[in-house]
Amino acid sequence: MEKPDEKQPTTPTLPETQVLAVSSVVSADQVTASVRTERSDSGAAAGRPAPLLSLRSEIRVWTRDLLIAIGLALVIIVFLYQPVKVEGTSMAPLLSDQERIFINKFVYRFEPIQRGDVVVFWYPLDHSKSFIKRVVGLPGEAVEIRQGAVYVNGKIVPEPYVPPQYEDLSDFGPVRVPKDNYFVMGDHRISSNDSRVFGPVASRFIYGRAVFAYWPVDHFGSLSTTEAKTQ
């Protein structure tokens, strides 16, 4: 922008009479032809690049939006969700061996652990290993198993996620779950190493909740964690 107090150099021009003299030698036909040519050229210049410019602009917008979407997805996956691979069959039929799922790593910063949640935690006897089980008993509750049926504080807990062929008909307990601890069990009761063996799991060892299965494709979908509420 020019500053108002600066003086701009002037460009010398031909005297007015000379300009008029030059203009006067151009015939009317030449003027008409010149005007038509200029209009034609300006119309072509204005008309031809317009679709190309519009296409380029649209491509830039789509590219920008795609990059933003990819960036947000990466941030969510890295900082909020974590992909993990399930090894073993202790959570069958909900989860199968080698299945890939996402766990939510921050959910328990905003809400408490609930009965029925499928959680991932550091194995209490070896913190280099991670286990995935279902929460059955909450802090302060008395857990007992009678011929395979789970009782919490004397009331039976419905477990539709445990098929009859996976039930363990043995007895256990009763045991009182300590403060800030959770009693966890696998859905495949006859082949699960869980709190019946290594005891309740401290809340500080629980670092995520299973929320979504993505591989294999026939298991693709949300993992329900609210089916074990005490009636």
Kindly indicate the confidence band of residue 229, based on its pLDDT and cuts at 50, 70 and 90.
very low
Encode pLDDT of 182-192 as tens digits.
999 999 999 99
100 close to 218: Cβ distance less than 8 angstroms: no
**130-137 vs 181-185, strand pairing mode:** antiparallel
- Mean predicted confidence (pLDDT) in 21-36: 42
Kindly indicate the confidence band of residue 15, based on its pLDDT and cuts at 50, 70 and 90.
very low
- The HSE-up count of residue 227 (CA atoms within 13 Å, CB side) is 12
148 has a pLDDT exceeding 80: yes
pLDDT of residue 9: 45
pTM: 0.67
199 has a pLDDT exceeding 70: yes
| Closest-CA residue to 137 (of 152, 121, 125) | 152
Kindly indicate the confidence band of residue 28, based on its pLDDT and cuts at 50, 70 and 90.
very low
pLDDT of residue 35: 42
pLDDT of residue 86: 94
- Mean predicted confidence (pLDDT) in 25-32: 44
The residues assigned a catalytic role are 90, 133
174 has a pLDDT exceeding 50: yes
131 has a pLDDT exceeding 80: yes
H or E stretch at 74 = helix 49-79
Q: Which two tokens stand for residue 136?
A: 């059955």
Main-chain dihedrals φ then ψ at residue 141, nearest 5 degrees: -85, 155
- Mean predicted confidence (pLDDT) in 149-161: 96
